[in-house]
């Protein structure tokens, strides 16, 4: 279904570089992997002939959309998309713009929407939690708040719904449990789950930067859990399957910088550094690292996804962070 009133950048936009035209014969690989315009960048594509099929990795799963000749679309910062198909005669133009009305280090409202616009639900016991999960429509998402540890019940539900239920915990411990839960139309893959997790972290960052009281706590928790998942659950089997040790060293080094910079978000210079580092890191993983990891691990990826989604919450670092 086409998106109603897709967002557009402000009139203070400036095109960066020149327009590039692509066909099936010269399509860069990066457009076939998930990627997103970063910082205050927007992308714009216009289909000149043939048809272009694009997939969006949204809050609620993967959505496919076809664009005929003469149509086009603005792609906001943080929106993950990829080219999913084009005809032999398809030719489209891609442009990159900077929206100068929103500085690169400002809170990005469109990124925060993933959390801001999720309906909130408070559950008092396991029965209420089960019924909240049951009533979630495919394509729907909600933020569940509880005063008890909802992790075991949600892990069971993820298993039961054969990975059509997707969750991203934001808070655990004495101050209560909060998690984003989405019901998907189709089971999610490992690369897609991790890219969605990036989007959740970026949404928490946007909330933290605009001073929402829980923003910084959610950011620390979501990022802490994600880094532990990568370092403890993903990188060791990836290395064992022939993953590049230099890449892993580089990624872990960036994790260290992120952990350090998150302590100084009050300082404008450190904040900008954190934001740009996070953006570049997420981009590299979605473009290069996750596709390589999935290709090398083959059939083992399914077991790994199970570990990440079901046991990932139990990762030690997450619990340490939550207890702070
Ligand atoms: Fe990472
Ligand atoms: Fe990551």
When the candidates are 3.40.50.2300, 2.40.170.20, 3.40.710.10, 2.60.120.10, the CATH number that belongs to 13-104 is 2.60.120.10
Alpha carbon of 251 to ligand 1 centroid (Å): 6
Write down the number of H helices and E strands in the chain: 11, 11
> How far, in Å, from the CA of 320 to the mean position of ligand 1?
19
CA of 214 to the centre of ligand 2 (A): 22
Domain boundaries, the chain: 13-104, 111-323
Q: What is the DSSP string of 217-270?
A: HHHHHHHHHHHHIIIIIIHHHHHHTT--HHHHHHHHHHHHHHHHHGGGTTSHHH
Structure tokens, 105: 């280090």
pLDDT one digit per residue (tens) for the chain, 324 residues: 455 578 899 899 999 998 999 999 999 988 998 999 988 899 999 999 999 999 999 877 888 999 999 999 999 988 999 999 999 999 999 999 999 888 777 777 778 888 999 999 999 998 999 889 888 988 889 999 999 888 888 888 888 887 788 889 998 887 889 999 999 888 889 999 999 999 999 999 988 888 887 888 899 999 998 998 999 899 999 999 999 999 999 999 999 999 988 888 888 888 888 988 998 999 999 999 999 999 999 999 988 998 888 776 554 545 454 444
Longest dimension (CA), the chain: 59
Length of the chain equals 324
> What's the 259 CA to ligand 1 centre distance in angstroms?
11
Ligand 2 (ion): which residues have CB within 5 A?
285
CA of 305 to the centre of ligand 2 (A): 14
pTM for the model stands at 0.88
How many whole angstroms from 113 Cα to the centroid of ligand 2? Answer: 20
Distance 132 CA to ligand 1 centre (A): 32
Rounded to the nearest whole angstrom, what is the distance from the C-alpha of residue 224 to the centroid of ligand 1? 10
Determine the distance separating the centroid of ligand 2 and the alpha carbon of 45, expressed in angstroms: 27
């Amino acid at each position: 279904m086409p998106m109603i009133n897709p967002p557009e950048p402000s009139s203070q936009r400036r095109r960066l570089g020149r327009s590039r035209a692509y066909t099936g014969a010269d399509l860069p690989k990066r457009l076939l992997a998930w990627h997103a315009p970063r910082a205050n960048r927007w992308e714009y594509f216009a289909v000149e002939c043939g048809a272009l099929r694009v997939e969006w990795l949204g809050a609620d799963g993967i959505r496919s959309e076809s664009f005929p000749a003469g149509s086009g679309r603005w792609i906001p910062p943080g929106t993950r998309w990829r080219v999913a198909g084009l005809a032999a005669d398809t030719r489209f133009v891609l442009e990159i713009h900077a929206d100068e009305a929103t500085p690169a280090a400002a809170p990005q409202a469109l990124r925060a929407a993933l959390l801001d616009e999720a309906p909130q639900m408070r559950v008092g016991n396991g029965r209420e939690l089960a019924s909240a999960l049951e009533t979630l429509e495919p394509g729907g998402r909600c933020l569940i708040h509880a005063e008890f540890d909802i992790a075991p019940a949600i892990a069971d539900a993820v298993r039961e719904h054969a990975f059509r239920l997707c969750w991203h915990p934001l808070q655990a411990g004495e101050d209560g449990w909060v998690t984003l839960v989405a019901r998907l139309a189709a089971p999610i893959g490992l690369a897609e789950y991790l890219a969605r997790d990036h989007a959740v972290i970026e949404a928490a960052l946007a909330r933290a930067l605009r001073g929402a009281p829980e923003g910084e706590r959610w950011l620390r928790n979501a990022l802490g859990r994600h880094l532990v998942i990568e370092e403890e659950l993903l990188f060791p089997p990836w290395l064992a399957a022939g993953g590049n040790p230099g890449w892993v060293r580089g990624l872990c080094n960036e994790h260290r910088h992120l952990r350090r910079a998150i302590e100084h978000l009050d300082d404008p210079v450190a904040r900008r550094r954190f934001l740009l580092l996070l953006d570049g890191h997420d981009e590299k993983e979605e473009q290069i690292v996750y596709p390589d990891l999935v290709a090398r691990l083959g059939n083992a990826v399914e077991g790994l996804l199970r570990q990440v989604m079901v046991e990932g919450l139990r990762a030690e670092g997450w619990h340490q962070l939550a207890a702070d």
